A and B are shown apart, each in its own frame.
Chain A
Amino acid sequence: MSLYRYLARRLLLLIPLLIGISLVSFLISNALPADPTAANLGERAAADPEIVQAFRDKWGLDDPLYVQYLSYMRNLLKGDMGTSIRSHRPIVDELSKYLPATIELATFGIVISILAGIVFGVISAVWRNRPIDFIVRIISLIGVSAPVFWLALLGLIVLYLRWGIVPGPGRLDARVIPPPNVTGMYTIDSLLAGQWDVFRNALSHLMLPSVVLAAYSVGLITRITRSSMLEVLSQEYMNTARSKGLRERHVILRHGLRNALMPVVTIIGLSYGNLLSGAVLTETIFAWEGIGRYAYNAARTLDFPAIMGVTMLIAIVFVVTNLVVDMLYYFLDPRLRYQG
C-alpha cells in the first residue's frame, strides 16, 4: 500500500474517532451528576433561584443534551469552544496559551526517555547478567514503580531546597521577563530573540520537571529495548556480521539496534500518553502553566466548558502523536510498505 493511501485511510478513520472523543468529553462534562451551578456561583448566589435560573439559561443547561451537544459542535466547527465559567475568557484562547508549555515539557520528557531508555536498554542487553545490567534494571524498576508526583516533590525538596542545584517551580525565574511570544515555548522563543540568558534560565527550569516526567517512560523503554535487543542479539545475522570482521560496536548498533527498534517505536506513542497524564501531576507541583494544570483546575472547579475543551484537546494531541508514530513505523519497517 502506498504511503499516501495508508495516510488517507488513517486520516479518514480519524473522523469517527474524533466524533467519539468529542462525545465522550461532552458526556463527562455535561451529563454527570455534579451540579456546576453550586460549584461556580457563590453560596449566596446559589441560594437565589433567579440567579441560578439566569446561570442555567446562559449556559443552556436546561436544553436537552443532544441540543447542547449539537450547538457545541456547531460552534466548535467555527473554532469556538465556548467560554470558561471560571475566567470568563474564550476556552480556545486559554488552551492555546497553555498548550505550548506542556508540549515543551512533554517533548523534553520524551526525548530524555528515548535517549536514556535506548542507551540503558542496549547496555543492559549487551552486558546481560553483569552488574551493570542489574543496576540498569533497578533504575528502570524505580522508574516504573515510583509515583511521579512523589519523585517531583522529593526532587524539589532535595535538589532545590537542600542543595539548590535546580531552580524552583515555574517556567522562569521571577526576575526574568518571558521572551517575545512566537511559539509560546520559552526555549525556542528565547533562541529566536537571541536572548541567551533567558534560554539558559528556561532550560534550567525544564530540567527537573522533564526528568521526573520522563522517569516512567525511561523505565518502560529500557525494558522493551532490553528484551528486544536480547532477541535480536541471538539471531544468526549477528554472527554473520561478526564473521565478516565488522567491529563489535558496528555489529551491535547497525545490525542489532536497528532491528530491535521496532517494538521500541510502538511503545513511544504509548509513552507520550503517559507523559500527558503525568503532566497533570507534574505541572501541578511545579506550578507549570500548562494544559495539565489547566485540566486540573478545570476539573476541580467543575468548569465544564473548560473540562470538555481540555480533555478533547489532550485526546487529540495523543491521537495525532500515535498517528505520527505509526508513520514512523512505516518508514522503519520496509515490510509494511509492501503489504496490502
Chain B
Amino acid sequence: MTPRLNIIRRRARQNPLMVAGILICIAWIFVSIFAKYVAPYDPLEQSIMERLMGPSSAHLFGTDQLGRDVLSRVLYGGRISLPAGLLVVTSAMIIGTIFGAITGYVGGMADELLMRFTEIFMAFPIIILAMAIAAALGPSVRNAVIAMIVVWWPNYARIVRSLVIQVKSNQYVESAQAIGASPLRILFITILPNCVAPALVMATLDIGNAILIFAGLSFLGVGPEPSAAEWGRMVSDGIDHYDQWWLSAFPGIAIFTAVMALNFIGDGLRDLADPRTRKAVG
C-alpha cells in the first residue's frame, strides 16, 4: 500500500486547498461532537444582566439579546446544521439512485415518466418549494429536512439515470448479459458501482449547498425553534440588532467556513476524478 500512500501525498501537495478543506471539516466535526467540552458556556443559558455585550475576554464573541454566549452557541450550532446537510444529501442520493437507476436501466415508459416528474420539481427554485413545504408541515428541524429531501432527490434521480445510461452501453455490461446474469445483478453489481464515484463527487459539492439552504430556511424561521443554537437562526437574531454586529457576524462565519471547506473538498475530488483537469492542474 505504500505506493498508494505516496500518490496520496503527492496529490495532497498538488492540491493544498483540498487538504485545508479536509482539516477545517475535521475541526468542525470534532467541535460539534465535543461541543460540551469545547464550549465555555451553556449555549441556552440566559443571563439578562449581560445581554448584548460586545466581544470581551469573558465572552470572546460577545453575548446575544438574551445574554447567551455567542461563542458557545456557534460551537454548538454545527450539531444541527452539519448533520442536517449530510442527511438531506444522503437521503436524496439514496432515493434518487433507486429511482434513477431503475428507470435508466429499464428505459421506455418508466424512464419518460420519471423525467417528466422530476422536471416538475426542478421547475421550482429550491428554497421557495422547501419553504412552502416546511411552513405547511410546521416549523421544525425534522420538517425542514423532510422538505429539503422532497425537493432535492429529483436532482440525483436525473444524474444517476444519465450515468446508468452511459455505463449501460459499455461492453462489459453486454458480456454480463451474454453470460446470463439477471437484470438485478447487472444493475446493482455491474452498473451501479461504476456510477458511484461521479455521484459521490456531486454529493460532496452538494452538502455545502444543502447546509446553505438549510441555514436559509432556518433564517426564515421555518427550521429549528427560535431559541435553538443553530447558525442560520442566530444570524437572524442580528436583524433586530444592527449595532451588535457580533450577533450575526460569527454564526455567518461558521456557515461560511464549513461550506467553503466542503467546496474545497468537492473541487479537489472532482479534479481527482477527472483526468483532464488533473493534467491541467499538475
Binding site for B on A (CB under 8 A): 16-17, 20-21, 23-25, 28-29, 32-34, 141-142, 144-150, 153-154, 156-157, 161, 227, 230-231, 273-274, 276-278, 280-281, 284-285, 295-296, 299-300, 302, 304, 307, 310-311, 314-315, 318-319
Contact = CB atoms under 8 A, between A and B. Distances in A.
A20 B116 contact: yes
B159 interface: no
Nearest to A234: B280
B263 A144 contact: yes
A284 B252 CA distance: 17
B264 to A, nearest CB: 8
Interface in B193-233: 208, 212, 215-216, 219-222, 232
Interface in B114-160: 116-117, 119-121, 123-129, 131-138
The 4 A-B pairs at the shortest CB distance, nearest first, are namely A150-B252, A20-B120, A32-B136, A299-B135
Contact of B123 (A147, A274, A318): A318
Contacts of A28: 129, 132-133, 136
A17 B123 contact: yes
Contacts of A311: 124, 128-129, 132
B124 A24 contact: yes
Interface in B54-70: none
Contacts of A153: 235, 238-239, 248, 252
B26 interface: no
Nearest to B123: A315
Contacts, number: 154
Given A28-B132, A141-B263, A280-B131, A148 B216 contact: yes
B219 A149 contact: yes
B53 interface: no
Main secondary structure of the interface of A (DSSP, over half): helix
Contacts of A230: 280
Given A149-B216, A149-B235, A314 B128 contact: yes
A302 B123 contact: no
A318 B133 contact: no
B128 A154 contact: no
Contacts of A161: 242-243
A145 B219 contact: no
Residue among B119, B128, B138, B248 having the largest count of chain A Cβ atoms under 10 Å: B128
A280 B220 contact: yes
Contacts of B236: 149
A21 B252 contact: no
Contact of A21 (B120, B126, B235, B243): B120
A142 B253 CA distance: 11
B125 A284 contact: no
B80 interface: no
Nearest to A149: B219
7 contacts: A24-B124, A146-B259, A149-B216, A149-B236, A280-B128, A300-B135, A300-B222
A147 B138 contact: no
A29 B134 CA distance: 11
Contact of B128 (A23, A29, A295, A319): A295
Given A28-B132, A161-B243, A280-B220, A21 B232 contact: no
Residue among A149, A231, A304 having the largest count of chain B Cβ atoms under 10 Å: A149
A277 B126 CA distance: 7
Given A34-B138, A311-B132, 6 more contacts: A25-B132, A34-B135, A147-B219, A296-B220, A311-B128, A315-B123
Nearest to A151: B252
Contacts of A302: 135-136
A147 B256 contact: yes
B260 interface: yes
Given A145-B263, A147-B215, A227-B277, A307 B132 contact: yes
A274 B125 contact: yes
B129 A141 contact: no
Nearest to A216: B212
B123 A299 contact: no
B183 to A, nearest CB: 29
A274 B213 CA distance: 11
B70 to A, nearest CB: 14
A52 B131 CA distance: 26
B245 interface: yes
A231 B138 CA distance: 48
B216 A147 contact: yes
A295 B125 CA distance: 12
Contact of A154 (B129, B138, B249): B249
Contact of A147 (B134, B212, B264): B212
Given A156-B242, A157-B245, A311-B129, A146 B252 contact: yes
A40 B62 CA distance: 38
Residue among B120, B264, B277 having the largest count of chain A Cβ atoms under 10 Å: B120
Contacts of B75: none
B123 A281 contact: no
A319 B122 CA distance: 9
B255 interface: yes
Contacts of A24: 120-121, 124, 129
Given A157-B242, A274-B125, A281-B216, A150 B256 contact: yes
A256 to B, nearest CB: 16
Contacts of A277: 125-128, 216
A300 B255 contact: no
A145 B85 CA distance: 14
Contact of B131 (A147, A296, A315): A296
A16 B116 contact: yes
Nearest to B150: A28
Residue among B120, B135, B232, B263 having the largest count of chain A Cβ atoms under 10 Å: B135
